[in-house]
Chain A
Amino acid sequence: MGQIMDDHIQFFLDGELQRVQVQDPTTTVLEYLREELGHTAVKEGCAEGDCGACTVVLAELHGQAYRLRSINACIQFLPTLDGKYVLTAEGLADAHSLHPVQQAMVDCHASQCGFCTPGFVMSLFALFKSDISPGRQDINHALSGNLCRCTGYRPIIDAARDMYRLADPQHADWRRVAGAPDPRQLLDSEQDLLRKLRHIRRSETLQLGDRYFSPVDEDELAALVEANPGATLLAGGTDVGLWVTKDYRELPRVIYLGNIPELQQITVDNEGMTIGAGANLTEALAMLVDEYPGFAEVSRRYASPPICNAGTLVGNVANGSPIGDSMPALMCLGTVLQLRQGSRQRELPLDRFYLGYQQTALEPGEYVSALRVPRAMPNCHFQSYKIGKRYDQDISGLCGAFRLQLSGGNVQTIDICFGGMAAVPQRAERAENALQGQPWSETSIRHGMAALEQDFEPISDLRATADYRRIVAGNLLLKFFADTQAGAKPNRVFDLDEALG
């Protein structure tokens, strides 16, 4: 174990190397940029990753090339920047001209008060560098984590369509539109970026006093977690960040999972997909939708790109929130968790993981190292639905997932799981039993709906009342039934709008 005591981290900010002595490892990137560096192009609108005014883009090494991802600076802890390159709206323009994204925003009259604008610019920049002709739905998704209270969004959508007109393929910086960068075709400036990133790459554990550990391989992680059973495990920080920014919690010890290459992997074999604890949601959700198209709605509405670019699927599952959006589907699909405690490893089905409100089957010093999701079965219907007050970036009132296999018109197997209906994500066992072996008909569904009433005792809160949750849970079963019928009519109001459908 090559541990070096070092209380400095290194990163680039808009091209300039920053070598920072970290006083408090739970200082957020936003706080540091604004309060220590006076770098005010990054704004605080909410300090919880929900408004996007603080959006920045990270560049980091990815194989032989680099990758870019937008994140929310307000909930990202400063030490996680170690080895990375941060781009902000202030760094995009040069002395002579605005960046195409910025010029398009000006030309389209896309800023009014301007406070959200730097964040929109960075989300658009991430889109500019990842897609060369986004449609309306791609634009929606790219901007779904940025709130604007002034414009109504139309001119910003226009700017997203207009910005490519101003792109400069020869320009030796961020003005070139690009997909995944091809190392053979990297521009000098990109070679320079790679050199910079390699220069500050850390191949050994970063330790900041006794408060922050960032190991680089999983064995070391397992040892650290076992030795520090009370430590906070940090991956994307999309929930842990809020413990600090909202609840002012002190985190005495943090172990960061984000620098362990093997944990970031997603692998697929004949039986299933293995999603490592460090794999971000953007990649994991794409993989799941690819295998299970019925997961598309929940995946799209799961969270904004800056959240999905930071947060992890394993984090969502391990956190055990009753309203996490992935668990109903994952549970429905027979997902198994791979748990590790020191050198000991074990597997546990997801539907046996949650013991009670924010209680899991994890032993002290044990952590979830990966999820294993089975491959899709042939002739299997799978669908998941999310119900909230808003299409984008909302926490569900409830979320339902259904998997069905028919045999000669009868139910061979059915899995029904819900979030938002109980203290934990949970199977609707009575409803499953009521439908098992029955003809797949509206009559059976009505019986299933009646049984479903007995499965849950939901609560009332600001997202929905208990009655609403109970009624809609049953209605989602009806909706699923309609979706399994040949030549199904539009079943979601969202399908009727070209902006979505």
Chain B
Amino acid sequence: MKDRSTVHRSLPHDSAHLHVQGRAQYTDDIPLPGGTLHAAVGWSQEAHARLKHLDLSQVRTAPGVVAVLTVDDIPGRNNHGPILADDPLMAEDTVEYVGQVLFTVVAETAGQARRAARLAKVDYESLEPVLQINDALDRSSEVVPPQTLVRGDPDEALAAGDQVLSGRFSIGGQDHFYLEGQVALALPGDDGDFVIHASTQHPSEVQHLVAEALGLQSKDVMVHCRRMGGAFGGKETQPALFACLAALAAYKTGRPVKLRLNRDDDMTVTGKRHPYQVDYRVAFNESGMIQGIDIRYSSDCGRSADLSGPVNARTIFHADNCYFLEHIRVESRRLKTHKASNTAFRGFGGPQGMVGIEHVMGDIARHLGLDPLEVRLRNLYGQDDRNVTPYGMTVEDNIAPEVIRRLSESSQYAVRRQAVAKFNQANPEIKKGLALTPVKFGISFTARHYNQAGALIHIYRDGSILLNHGGTEMGQGLFTKVAQVVAEVFQVGVDQIRCSATDTSKVPNTSATAASAGSDLNGMAAYNAARTLRDRLTCFAADRYGVPEDQIRYQNGMVQAGEHQLGFEELVDQAYLARVSLSSTGFYKTPKIDYDPNTLQGRPFYYFCYGAAVSEVAIDCLTGESRLLRVDILHDVGKSLNPALDLGQIEGGFIQGVGWLTCEELCWDDSGRLTTHAPSTYKIPTVTDWPEQFYVEIAAWSENSEATIYRSKAVGEPPFMLAISVFEAIKDAVSAAGPGRVQLDAPATPERILQAVASVRQ
């Protein structure tokens, strides 16, 4: 029996059988045409300097080198910045971070290119670098202007508040650590056109930037991506640089050129999650109800704007998380430092916003001697009142209280809180902590025009269906989900559908696959394309069999037309012979969203996703080591398109968040050089970090109140923030070690935990 398609089913990832055999083709696996050259980049060794002299003579004469390219070789625009044109492909006269590309070497082999790249002699005139957030604040060093959102009268509320706490803490950055590094292959084609194979979440942006760099038009560049080996936001804007350099090298040499970064170059050259500093003052009453808050998020954007504006805007939109904050000021500073330009990363500024407010909740509870969960519950958005966000959007579908209620019961939160206290009394040097934190995450790009998508569907005479859409596959299973949607419309098996590589020549002007919106947007666009085709088939069948259109039914690969039953492929072939078009595009734009990016007022989001997690940890007060002991998660994905894939996003997102807040520490030396640029020094979670007690549940009772694709909800980013429960649980454990106030920065490495323990014991 054939596997009959339908949505809401746990079908395997469409490439799973290829993944396990190593037969899934990634960009670096594409067989190369004869004569393909390989490129490598040479980068700045200084964080801030004027380039006095760039001596590339030894690079040019190194074995195998065919060409060495600098900024002078760029025929078009020297930029890969996505919003502002402030990201040079190769440095002109100054360098602004260790890792900034100075030149590109093209050689017969990748090894030759990489060895040659080390032979440059660069004469720098050192300038003073800004490397710390506080330095940048002192100097008002900014990549984009600050923004502030105010509601009510926070100053008055703070002045009149019953109790006031203030504090500061910092949150580290995070490397994406996609397993497949940045890679692009540029093929010169006919009459000056180019085909670019790139590992990118945003083929259209690569297309536009390559065209601009080469002085071409978009029609001259085709970008192709079947799949990425992980992305997480790190392949939203970052791939354009490498695609542009590969294309430039192909343009200059007239030969195909591949540029694949090794891990160290990848981590040194590309941007990461923004590190933040959070400063706050909060007023609250004796039950922990927040009366007023003034919170400032200062983000380390690195050397250029990249996506830092929208990343920080999302921080502002998530400073409330699930809580009604009547009198609030949120200030957002976007600071320029001489480091790699920080960029999109799963959550896109939202996680830092939420870590801020969740820390405040814990701080208030510990100050008052209350259970932090009580404080959180007291401050939640209401259903009919206390339900408007600081940015003026009404929370219409607030299921956070229900999610928390169900999770605290299923996880036995109250009982375990007592057990933890008992354990801590008996153990002087090992302390446990427990915390429940909720998540409310807004879905839609805050850049309104990005909330559109296109799809293209062909039906062939044998009834097989070729599906193409503007979304990219990075492992999240988007191709599988969209194929399920199309299969559902036609009531055929997914094995009858092939979702082909993302290709700018099939669907134009696509948005990045980002903001968790991949299946919302592309699923709906494909749905619309499929409905157009089905309507044509229905119209044809009604006419052919003389029955009303409402009596045409599609089921199990068959079509019922009144009394007549025929196979889907038979109907298709008949339609072809009757000259019915069997190809259609589909388009979708997200309704309802409307807000003013200057005042930050309106409705930036179509809807919210909710979730909550309870985490239990243990810390060692002698070494600062910590261990995640148990996790309970309840997460809302609406009516899931594919529960197995959604579960994968929830679990994977959670652990990635745990890495960010615990073991993943980015270190720079005093001169601004990243010292953690490979997995030997940068530690993402491993298999052992998955606790044996892990209970995760999809909130099957939830359904999107908005008319999304089959009432599903987005899932890529929201679960990442469930990991904040781990960070809060660690602080809970630290607070059991001594009476002092808990001061802990992220990531909570053993060293930081040990410091925090020492400070509560002082």
Contact = CB atoms under 8 A, between A and B. Distances in A.
B229 A118 contact: no
Contact of A152 (B263, B623, B654): B654
A202 B264 CA distance: 38
A385 B115 CA distance: 40
Contacts of A53: 179
Contacts of A490: 427, 430
Interface string B47-91: 000000000000000000000000000000000000000000000
A115 B687 contact: no
A500 B15 CA distance: 33
Contact of A493 (B21, B625, B645): B625
Q: Which of B626, B678, B686 has the most CB of A within 10 A?
A: B686
A369 interface: no
Interface in B406-434: 427, 429-430, 432
Contact of B23 (A48, A90, A389, A472): A90
Contacts of A114: 13, 15-16, 18-19, 24, 227, 229, 475
Contact of A147 (B31, B684, B690): B684
Contact of A499 (B229, B264, B624, B692): B692
Nearest to B674: A462
Interface string B499-530: 00000000000000000000000000000000
A223 interface: no
Interface centre among B16, B31, B429, B690 (most CB of A within 10 A): B16
Given A48-B678, A92-B21, A113 B691 contact: no
Interface stretch (A287-295, A341-349, A390-398): A390-398
Given A109-B644, A497-B629, A38 B31 contact: yes
B460 interface: no
Given A50-B678, A157-B687, A496-B430, A389 B651 contact: no
Interface in A399-420: none
A155 B648 contact: yes
Contacts, number: 279
Interface in A66-100: 88-90, 92-93, 98
Interface string B466-485: 00000000111100000000
A476 B19 contact: no
Nearest to B475: A113
B751 interface: yes
B474 A113 contact: yes
Given A111-B20, A149-B179, A150-B475, A389 B749 contact: yes
Contact of A113 (B22, B110, B230, B628): B230
A472 B758 CA distance: 12
A31 B228 CA distance: 21
Contacts of B590: none
A101 B22 CA distance: 13
A142 to B, nearest CB: 9
B178 A109 contact: no
A216 to B, nearest CB: 31
A353 to B, nearest CB: 25
Interface stretch (B210-218, B270-278, B289-297, B614-622): B614-622
A498 B693 contact: yes
Contact of A90 (B22, B655, B690, B749): B22
A494 B20 contact: no
Contact of B20 (A46, A102, A471): A102
B22 A472 contact: no
A308 interface: no
Nearest to A490: B430
Given A47-B262, A50-B679, A113-B229, A106 B17 contact: yes
Given A90-B22, A387-B623, A147 B179 contact: yes
B652 interface: yes
B625 A387 contact: yes
Given A45-B179, A111-B19, A395-B680, A156 B477 contact: no
B675 interface: yes
Interface string B231-265: 11000000000000000000000000000001110
A89 B21 contact: yes
The B interface, classified by DSSP as helix, strand, loop or mixed, is: loop
B606 to A, nearest CB: 25
Interface string B100-119: 00000000011100110010
B699 interface: no
A427 interface: no
A143 B687 contact: yes
A195 interface: no
Contact of A389 (B20, B28, B656, B665): B665
Contacts of A115: 26, 178-180, 229-230, 475
A370 interface: no
A143 B24 CA distance: 22
Contact of B656 (A40, A103, A149): A149
Interface residues of A, number: 91
Contacts of B628: 497
Contacts of B115: 248
B688 A144 contact: yes
A40 B25 contact: yes
B12 interface: yes
A103 B12 CA distance: 11
A322 B620 CA distance: 25
B10 A109 contact: yes
Contacts of A116: 179, 229
A34 to B, nearest CB: 8
A500 B688 contact: yes
B416 to A, nearest CB: 14
Interface size class of B (residues with CB under 8 A): 35 or more
A34 B28 CA distance: 9
B21 A98 contact: yes
A48 B679 contact: yes
B20 A89 contact: yes
A157 B675 contact: no
B667 interface: yes
A386 B364 CA distance: 36
A102 B24 CA distance: 14
Contact of B652 (A31, A112, A121, A499): A112
Contacts of A422: none
A430 interface: no
B686 A43 contact: no
B20 A149 contact: no
Given A50-B678, A102-B20, A109 B12 contact: yes
Interface string A224-257: 0000000000000000000000101000000000
Nearest to A111: B19
A316 interface: no
B684 A475 contact: no
Interface string B663-697: 10101000000011011110111111111111000
B750 interface: yes
B12 to A, nearest CB: 6
Given A146-B687, A248-B115, A468-B751, A90 B21 contact: yes
A490 B621 CA distance: 13
B709 to A, nearest CB: 20
A143 B10 CA distance: 26
Contact of A489 (B177, B427, B623, B647): B427
Nearest to B177: A149
Contact of A109 (B645, B656, B686): B645
A468 B754 contact: yes
Contacts of B262: 44, 47
13 contacts: A90-B23, A106-B12, A109-B648, A112-B477, A113-B180, A136-B692, A144-B686, A144-B687, A153-B690, A391-B689, A478-B622, A497-B629, A499-B688
Which 3 residue pairs are nearest across A and B when measured between Cβ atoms? A41-B22, A113-B475, A115-B229
Interface of B: 10, 12-13, 15-26, 28-29, 31, 109-111, 114-115, 118, 176-181, 227-232, 262-264, 427, 429-430, 432, 474-477, 618-620, 622-629, 644-645, 647-648, 651-656, 663, 665, 667, 675-676, 678-681, 683-694, 749-751, 754
